[in-house]
Structures are given as C-alpha cells and as structure tokens.
Chain A
C-alpha cells in the first residue's frame, strides 16, 4: 500500500464577514491515493469548490493541515505556492476560462511559458497535449470559433500540458450538452486510467460522478457517508 498523495487533516476554511463567520469547510479529513479518480458531490454551497481550491493551492486553510506529495501546501509563501501550482496541479474550470485572444495552440502553450524549456520541446509538448484531447485540427482556432465541448478539450490540454500529477475539475461538464459531457467524461476517465493522473472532480451529475473510482458527498462543509454511492465506484457507465 503506497502513501496517500493528498492528506487533509482537520482541514477548515472560514470566512468572516463583519461579525458573521461562515465555515464552508469544517474539520475535514481526507486521503487521496495517487492515481485515484475522486468525485465530489453535494448540494450547492456545501464547500466543494472551497475544498477543490485548497487542494489546487489557490486558497489556504484557516486551520488544519494539507499535505500534497509530502509538501505542506498551506505553509508555502504566495510565490512558492504559485511555482508549486504551475508544476503540480492542472485546473479545469466549468467555464473553460480560455483566453479569447489566443488560439487553441497558444492557450495550451501558456502554462509552459512558466517553465524553462527549448522552443522545440515546448512545441512537441503542446502538440502531444492537443493530440491527446483530439483537437489537433483546431489548433489555430480562437475559442470563439470552437464549440463548448471543444473549448473544454483545449482547457483540458492546457491543464495537462505541464504534466502535473493532480488534476482538479470544478463541474467540468456543467455547461455542456449530454453528448459533449459524456465525451469529456470519457476523456477524463482515460487521463486517470492511462496517464495515471490523480483526478478530483466536482459534479452535480450522478452520470458523470459514476466515472470516478470513489464518490464523496459533502454537506455543510463535512463529508457524509453515502453507502449507495460507493457501491458502483469503479464502474464506468454511460
């Protein structure tokens, strides 16, 4: 049995607004093994995005610890955290967040500009990522010339191009029709199985969550056991 890649211990995030304190995440314990595909479900406002942002290193815990690959992510300085993110995590957004003035190719190339490498090396990596998501023929297109499903493919290519161990996805199919959503889920499943990525995905859709190896339910900032959900964990249904 290997070590967990992600270790949350008593992870808490609170916001104070005036005298009011909101606790979207409360004393959460969670281990995620390398290569695991984890789906987070739960009602709106239950703290799913908050947890995802903590794991992605764009937010910091108020208390508790978060270790990822042995690194105390919560203790990194702002700039170290940015460097860590650029190497360790790929973020996939519900609304893709592609830069409209850059082509698909240039969007995918963006994360690589943060790393020292030759132009040829960069080119081959971008080409490989575009190929993996099946969008090579649209490399010169601008986001407005792509469908939602294609945009999300480009965004996934951008998330994997620097070869991070962890991918986080916040409702990646939330803005897509059923067919495109299924195709995106198939792609994410492939990334988990074939590329060995550790994947944490927030989704409302049980059909999407079913692609995951494990499903967790959040409610009011706490994990709740859901026997029914864990049963079909490994199954891939469409």
Chain B
C-alpha cells in the first residue's frame, strides 16, 4: 500500500491550533488519570509485596493465617523456635527471630480527629530491625522500654491525616488513651511498614494487657546447614501444644494484596469509564477536523490513494496529538504524582509511577487516538468519491 507522507499528517495538526490544544490537553488529562490509577495500583501492590520478605517465615496461631491481628501465640514461641530449629540467620550472636504484637489502635496526633484513627501498632524487640531488613531508623533513637517511647513510620502522618511535623521527634501522640513520645522516625520505603507505629514489645503488651504475642518472624539462614521453610513448618506441626502454624511472609502479604483486588478493579474501572468519556469528547473534535476536509479526502482518493492509506494518515495525525498529551502527562505524573501518599485500611503507601505504569499511560494515550479516529474516519470516507468532491 502506498502511504501518504508523514509530513502531511504532522502538518495537518497545525490546521487548527484550538483542536490541537484540545486533543493534546484532553489526552493529557485522560492519561494523567490512568497514570494516577496505575500508580495507585502499582503502589499498593508493591507496598504489600515489598513488606513480605522471601527469606522470612511467620509463625502465627492456627486459624489466624488471614489476619495477624487476630493471632495469639504463647510468648515462649520465639525462644522455643530459636532453640529447636538450627540454621536460622544469625549475626553477632543474635538469631534473627522477632516476636511481635500487631494491633490496630486508635491514635490521636496533632490537629487530627479527636477520636483518632486506627493505625497498625507493632510491639517489637530490637531484632525486628534485623528481620525487617527494609526498615531503618531515619531519625532519633530506638524507643526505650518503660519510657513511653515510640517509633513512627514516615507515612504514618498520612494515615492519621496530619502534617509530618505533628509526628516530629519529641512530639506527643495519644495511643488508645495514653500519651507516648516520638523517639524516632522509621523508614521503610515502598513498604506498608512506612505507615506503622512501633514500640517496645513489653510496653505494648502492658498497655493492651495481653500476655501473648501475635506472631514470630524469623529469617532463614543462607549457605550449607541453613534452615528451610520446611524445617520451621515441621517445628510448628510437631508442637501441637502451641497451636501454631508457619507460612512465608511473602505469601502472607501476597494474600493481603489479593484481598485488595476488588479495590484495584474499582480504580481501574473508574479510570476506564472516565477515559471512555475522553474518547467520546475526542470523537467530536476529530470528526469536526476530518469533516472539514472531506473534499480533500475525495481528491486524494481521486489521485489513487487507498482509503486504508488515508485512514493510516489520520491515525498518525491523531496519535501524534494524543501521544504528545501522554508524554506531557507522564512528565507531570513523574514530577507531581510519584510518591504522593495515599492512606488505606492497611496503612498508607505512595503512588508508584514506574515503567509499567508509564507504559500503561502511553498505551492509553495511543488507544485514545485510535478509538477517537476510527469512527470519524469511517464517516468521512464512506461517501463515494464523486460526492466527497462536491462537499464544500
């Protein structure tokens, strides 16, 4: 097929500045929306994925595999695991075994709502920093037991709906009716831990009047003699008296991610519907543009150009406009959307505008050009040539 020159498509864009502006901006808006949706979904999924570590095994109460917050296991499990399963990771004579309590508690901070919002509070020992290798103390110091001290994640303020300053080191936070002092800031980038509050395990147990732990998290060793998941699972099975079960941390968070699949679906559907609105808006501009050129299109066919060649040229023209919009939107998304914090029931996460999200955005831009052109092109090219030539 003999195609029309690309310059024809490109220069046709300049025929109406207003239409060019409309199609570039319209496409940019739709793509920005798709990128926001994509960034939301990517952020949520990677947040949950990154929290779970392949090498980590979780021990929870039988029947509480779905929710650690409901899990209760004897406080002795951590030391029993350390003693019974050789080959767990160690450093400086410490085994990577972290007994934890995880509980959602109402937290009031700064100018946030007086009833407080539910935040995941984790009671931990210093081994928690070993097991959760993605976590670091970004500022301040580890909370000392018995001093009412806590660590707050970098996105905890988003979860609480307050400014970051309200959770600065030294400020006071009310957790379940009791005041605590922020001793440090916890950084766990792109992980849901970023929105948590950590405090010494003993303090949280005392404050919530519980004797049991929620879970024990252990890191498997590497190299010869390293423990495998099966070893920990066997320990959990054999200790019938403890009523515990083992699972990998990544499978737990993968399941959590699956639990939020409907939320992601709703986000995609909403973006899709608004995008469809964009397509219908685009149809009008494209139709107006092509309809004013019907005689020219007839002339091109009269010369011997096929309708397919003409449609291709129209597609180039509109995709050029929508792709420019998509690029603008991508740049805007990288600068203004990436990392923007969003809170959800599990905690909070940052929008993630990465390569897959950008690819989806660009694809949406091209699809917009494609869908917005086909129908107007059909309407303008279905006329017999002799009639197109009569059009004014």
Contacts and interface: CB of A to CB of B under 8 A. Distances in A.
Given A59-B385, A101-B14, A113-B2, A79 B306 contact: yes
Interface string B7-23: 11001101100000000
Interface string A174-212: 000000000000000000000000000000000000000
B8 A101 contact: yes
Nearest to A90: B303
A114 B3 CA distance: 8
A53 B385 CA distance: 9
Given A79-B306, A86-B303, A93 B389 contact: yes
A101 B11 contact: yes
B392 to A, nearest CB: 9
Contact of B8 (A56, A95, A102): A102
Interface in B105-139: none
B305 to A, nearest CB: 7
A85 interface: yes
Interface in B273-311: 295-296, 299-306
A230 interface: no
Interface string B371-392: 0000000000000111001000
B15 A101 contact: yes
Nearest to A79: B306
Contacts, number: 63
Contact of A85 (B15, B295, B302): B302
Interface in A35-92: 49-50, 53, 56, 58-59, 79, 82-83, 85-87, 91
Contacts of B304: 82-83, 85-87, 111, 114
Interface string A93-129: 1010101111000100011011000000000000000
Given A58-B385, A58-B386, A59-B384, A91 B306 contact: no
Q: Give the bracket for the number of chain A residues in contact with chain B.
A: 20 to 34
Contacts of B303: 85-86, 91, 110-111, 114, 158
Contact of B296 (A56, A83, A99, A111): A99
Contacts of A113: 2-5
A40 to B, nearest CB: 16
B385 A101 contact: no
B386 A53 contact: yes
A79 B307 CA distance: 10
Contacts of A101: 8, 11-12, 14-15
A58 B302 contact: yes
Contacts of A50: 386
A142 to B, nearest CB: 10
A97 B296 contact: yes
Nearest to B15: A101
Nearest to B303: A111
Interface in B21-65: none
Contacts of A158: 303
Residue with the highest number of chain B CB atoms closer than 10 Å, among A49, A82, A86: A82
A202 to B, nearest CB: 13
A101 B4 CA distance: 13
A62 to B, nearest CB: 13
A91 B302 contact: yes
A171 to B, nearest CB: 12
A99 B301 contact: no
A91 B8 CA distance: 21
Contacts of B306: 79, 82
Contacts of A97: 295-296, 299, 389
Nearest to A111: B303
Contacts of B305: 82, 114
Residue with the highest number of chain A CB atoms closer than 10 Å, among B4, B295, B389: B389
A56 to B, nearest CB: 7
Residue with the highest number of chain A CB atoms closer than 10 Å, among B4, B302, B305, B386: B302
B112 to A, nearest CB: 59
A180 B304 CA distance: 29
A85 B208 CA distance: 89
Nearest to B387: A59
A134 to B, nearest CB: 22
Contacts of A49: 386
A109 B295 CA distance: 19
B299 A93 contact: yes
B311 to A, nearest CB: 14
Q: Which 6 A-B pairs have the closest CB atoms?
A: A86-B304, A101-B11, A97-B299, A58-B385, A53-B386, A114-B2
30 contacts: A53-B385, A58-B385, A58-B386, A59-B384, A59-B386, A79-B306, A82-B301, A82-B304, A82-B305, A83-B304, A85-B303, A86-B303, A87-B304, A91-B299, A91-B302, A93-B389, A97-B296, A97-B389, A99-B8, A99-B296, A99-B299, A100-B15, A101-B8, A101-B11, A101-B14, A102-B8, A106-B5, A106-B7, A110-B300, A111-B303
Interface of A: 49-50, 53, 56, 58-59, 79, 82-83, 85-87, 91, 93, 95, 97, 99-102, 106, 110-111, 113-114, 158
Given A82-B304, A97-B295, 14 more contacts: A59-B384, A59-B385, A59-B386, A85-B302, A86-B303, A87-B304, A91-B299, A91-B302, A91-B303, A93-B299, A93-B389, A100-B15, A101-B14, A110-B300
